[in-house]
Structure 1
Amino acid sequence: MDPAVLREDMVDGVAHALDGLDERLGTAMRTVPRGAFVEDRPYDNRDGDHAGSDVLAPELVARLVGALDADPADDVLVVGVGVGYTSALLAELVGERHVHAVDIVRRLVLDARRNLGEAGYDGVLVDRRDGADGLPEYAPFDRVLVEAAAVRPPRALLDQLAPDGRLVMPMGLPEATLVAVEADDSPEGFAVVEEFGAATLAPLLVEGEQPDGVARNRTEREDREFERQGYFAPTGWEQNWIDWDDRLDGGRGHRRR
Structure 2
Amino acid sequence: MDEASLRADMIEGLEHQIGETLDEPVLTALQRVSRDPFVDDASTAGGETVRTGGSGGTGDRSLAPATVVRLISALDVDEDDEVLVVGAGVGYSVALLAEIAGARRVHAIDIDREAVAIARSNLSTAGYDAVLVDCRDGVNGLPEYAPYDRILLESGVVEPPRALREQLSEGGRIVYPRGTAVQTIAAIEPDPERVASDRAPDDDDAPAGFRTVATGGPARLQPMLVDGEQRGVERNRTRREDAERAEQGHFARHGWEQDWIDWDDRI
> TM-score interval w.r.t. the shorter chain?
0.7 to 0.9
Single out whichever of 16-25 and 179-188 deviates more from structure 2.
179-188
The answer to whether structure 1 residue 98 and structure 2 residue 105 are counterparts is yes
Q: Name 2:139's counterpart in structure 1.
A: 132
- Structure 1 letter corresponding to 2:7: R
Q: Name 1:117's counterpart in structure 2.
A: 124
Q: Name 1:8's counterpart in structure 2.
A: 8
Report deviation, 1:190: 2.7
Q: Name 2:78's counterpart in structure 1.
A: 71
The answer to whether structure 1 residue 26 and structure 2 residue 27 are counterparts is yes
Report Cα offsets for 1:174-214 as digits up to 9, x if no partner: 21111011234133343222211321111011111101223
- Structure 2 letter corresponding to 1:146: L
Please identify the structure whose Cα radius of gyration is greater: 2
Picking from 205, 209, 216, the partner of 2:229 is 209
Which structure shows the higher helix fraction?
2
Q: Name 2:169's counterpart in structure 1.
A: 162
Report deviation, 1:50: 6.4
Q: Secondary structure at the match of 2:22?
A: coil
Q: Separation in 2 of the partners of 1:155 and 1:93?
A: 27
RMSD: 2.3
Q: Secondary structure at the match of 1:113?
A: helix
- Structure 1 letter corresponding to 2:49: D
Q: Name 2:91's counterpart in structure 1.
A: 84
Q: Name 1:199's counterpart in structure 2.
A: 219
Q: Separation in 2 of the partners of 1:75 and 1:149?
A: 22
Mark the runs of 5 or more structure 1 residues left unpaired by the alignment. 217-223, 228-257
Superposition pairs for residues 211-230 of structure 1, below 5 Å?
A: 211-215=231-235
Q: Secondary structure at the match of 2:109?
A: strand
Contact 2:40 / 2:48 at 8 angstroms: preserved in 1?
A: no
Contact 2:174 / 2:189 at 8 angstroms: preserved in 1?
A: yes
**Percent identity between the aligned chains?**
51
* Equivalences, count: 220
Mark the runs of 5 or more structure 2 residues left unpaired by the alignment. 54-58, 199-207, 241-267
**TM-score, normalised relative to structure 1:** 0.79
Q: Name 1:252's counterpart in structure 2.
A: none
